[in-house]
Amino acid sequence: MERFAGRVAVVTGASSGIGACIASDLAKAGMVVVGVARRKDRLQDLAASLKACGATGRLEAVQADLSSVEEVRRVFQWVEDNLGAVSVLVNNAAILLQKPIQDLDATDIQSLVTTNVTTVLIGCKEAINSMKKHDIKDGHIITINSVAGHVVINNPLVSVSAYTTSKHAITALCKSLRFDVQRIPGFKIRVTSLSPGTVSTDMVPAEFQAVLPPDMLLRAADVSNAVLYALSCPAAVEITELTIQPTGEALEPTAEWQSVGRRHFLAMERFAGRVAVVTGASSGIGACIASDLAKAGMVVVGVARRKDRLQDLAASLKACGATGRLEAVQADLSSVEEVRRVFQWVEDNLGGVSVLVNNAAIAIQKSVQDMDLADIQSIVATNVTSVTVGCKEAIESMKKHGIKDGHIININSVAGHVVINTPHLSISLYSATKHAITALCKGLRFDVQRIAGFKIRVTSLSPGAVDTDMVPEEFAKTLPPDMLLRPADISNGVLYALSCPSSVEITELTIQPTGEAF
């Protein structure tokens, strides 16, 4: 976060809950935070507490009614007159009216739409204009969305149809805004949609909170930690959509998301000495993940065809003094029998699996009509069948050994969420298999929720283009140097998802090169 020290962040809805937590964390990270809300007394109290605790940044309290376009413009004019450029905007303010649509009057509807949509749009416009005026080329806009921005929630205890409508608009806004800012020459403004599940704040109706177990509510700090993670990624790395939910929340969601600095990772210590299986671990993303998990103290079972490379990685980890280790297991991951053999080896030699990272995949650079049967069978077997079998085997191991906080992370792809059409890539079948993984992750979450007494987490991690051998050379040549992620960027995403408290589940994390045109 060092590059943001002394720079200005505007945080709306900053007087309580999520907004207050975000404002506080950004000030402690050294930023000048403009906290905006109706309740100025609360903002002033927060500013005083930050000063008293020795925060390296500070909070400026600005009172405004965020259902008014004129008030939003006034806030940004105040920033211009008193502080100068905006580097970060966190659109957090929103209202939720607990009524079915037919019971809302016109004033209710106008207030909700203006606060949740119109003034968010105006805030984005004003922030971008400030960034352009002051040449802030690495600005960042983070909009606090909701899982209700991706699914329609039907629950007898909550009537949130109008709120859901407004949050679906925010999902579309974030996607469209990314393309708009890509057209500003010379700028790399990042846009993140951060979609929490149910958070313990005043916004959640008391009768709904009352029926939930204590660990089925996120804390405001969980959402703020996600903001720090997104901001802390290198300027060339854009967390486009990040969905964070209580582990086991029974909503059907989606989400897209130099490292955070390990200080932001919450708790890898609980995994020390435990077993992680990482497939495709001989090179690229898999080797980086395997290495980072071993350095975090885990016993990593690295699985790949090229055993010599796995052994070299194991030796290098030992030589550098990693607190964990890597066990090299050779396997052909297009074979179901080989996948089962890997998990039997783990059972016989190490015991229970705590973490599975399904990273192995293949992309055949041919159109579907030019593929032969062997191509098709190979890609489907590796990218879908063996991944599914691996999930099954890992869950059975967790159940057998009483590993109640196990975690399955599937390395998906942005091609699992959109169909990519570019003359330099023919990846129709790869995209089909990755869409299957998107559905697998969502379905698997519901399956493991039905295992009594267990809180097994499932994460879909969807990178854009990464600098590995999988990216065709002719496609890579068409990209600027900073338009490819590094394997370390993906591994940092894995560490972030794992490190969250066991009651917090990163269900979908999409990581893209800043400005990637998908």
Instruction: State how far the Cα of 255 lies from the Cα of 262, in Å rounded to an integer.
Output: 23
53-92 pLDDT per residue, tens: 999 999 999 999 999 999 999 999 999 999 999 999 999 9
Q: Of the residues 163, 229, 430, 496, which is catalytic?
A: 430
Q: Indicate whether 261 pLDDT > 50.
A: no
Place of tokens 């964990």: 324
Give the per-residue pLDDT at 250: 67
Using the predicted structure, report yes or no on whether residue 410 has a pLDDT greater than 70.
yes
Window from 17-21, 123-127, 186-190, 213-217 with minimum mean pLDDT: 213-217
Q: Is the pLDDT of residue 447 over 80?
A: yes
The pLDDT tens digits of the residues spanning 376-391 come to: 899 899 999 999 999 9
The predicted-structure confidence for 185-228, as pLDDT tens digits, reads as follows 999 999 999 999 888 888 776 766 777 777 788 899 999 999 99
pLDDT at 18: 96
Return the pLDDT at 251.
Answer: 56
What is the pLDDT at residue 31? 97
> What is the tens place of the pLDDT at every residue in 92-105?
999 988 887 778 88
Residue 156 confidence (pLDDT) above 60: yes
Residue 476 pLDDT > 60, yes or no? yes
140-144 vs 88-91, strand pairing mode: parallel
pLDDT at 350 over 80: yes
Mean pLDDT of 239-254: 76
Domain-wise residue ranges, the chain: 2-244, 269-511
Mean pLDDT of 36-63: 97
Q: How confident is the model at residue 279 (pLDDT cuts 50, 70, 90)?
A: very high
Q: Tell me which of 424 and 318 has the higher pLDDT.
A: 318
How many angstroms from the chain centroid is the CA of residue 412? 12
CATH architecture of 2-244: 3-Layer(aba) Sandwich (3.40)
DSSP 443-506: HHHHHHHTSTT---EEEEEEE--BSSTTS-HHHHTTS-GGGSB-HHHHHHHHHHHHHS-TTEEE
- What's the pLDDT tens digit per position in 392-409? 999 999 999 999 999 999
Q: Round the average pLDDT of the chain to a whole number and report it.
A: 90
Measure the CA–CA gap between 204 and 211, rounded to whole angstroms: 12
* Sign of the torsion angle spanned by Cα atoms 493, 143, 439, 518: negative
Q: What is the distance between the alpha carbons of residues 285 and 289, in angstroms, rounded to a whole number?
A: 6
pLDDT score for 102: 75
Q: Phi then psi for 12, rounded to 5 degrees?
A: -90, 155
Distance CA 257, CA 509 (A): 4
218/227 Cα distance (integer angstroms)? 14
- Percent pLDDT > 70 in the chain is 93
- The SS3 call for residue 11 is strand
pLDDT tens readout for residues 299-328: 999 999 999 999 999 999 999 999 999 999
Q: What is the mean pLDDT of residues 456-469?
A: 90
The torsion angles phi and psi of 304, rounded to 5 degrees, stand at -170, 170
Burial class, 214, CB count within 10 angstroms (exposed 0-12 / middle 13-18 / buried 19+) = exposed
163 part of the active site = no
Q: What is the reported pTM?
A: 0.84
For position 256, what pLDDT does the model report?
30
In the numeric block, the tokens 């994390």 are attached to 509
β-pairing, 275-279 with 299-304?
parallel
pLDDT, tens digit, 9 for 90 and up, residues 128-140 = 999 999 999 999 9
Which residue has better confidence, 474 or 12? Answer: 12
Looking at residue 185, what is its pLDDT?
93
Please give the backbone phi and psi of residue 214, each rounded to the nearest 5 degrees, phi first: -55, -35
pLDDT of residue 267: 63
Q: Specify the pLDDT at position 254.
A: 32
CATH topology agreement for domains 2-244 and 269-511 = yes
Q: What is the pLDDT of residue 308?
A: 96
Average pLDDT over residues 295-300: 97
pLDDT at site 472: 64
pLDDT confidence of residue 153: 74
**Nearest-5° angle of CA 29, CA 30, CA 36?**
90
User: Cβ atoms within 10 A of the Cβ of 69, count?
Assistant: 14
> Can you tell me the distance from the alpha carbon of 507 to that of 497, in angstroms, rounded to the nearest whole number?
9
Does the pLDDT value for residue 38 go beyond 60? yes
Which of 175, 94, 165 has the alpha carbon at shortest distance from 141? 175
Q: E strand or H helix at 195, and its extent? A: strand 190-196
455: confidence class by pLDDT, cuts 50, 70, 90: very high
Is residue 273 within 8 A of residue 299, CB to CB? The reply is: yes
Q: Which CATH superfamily is domain 269-511 in?
A: NAD(P)-binding Rossmann-like Domain (3.40.50.720)
Cβ atoms within 10 A of the Cβ of 152, count?
12
Task: Report whether pLDDT(253) > 60.
Answer: no
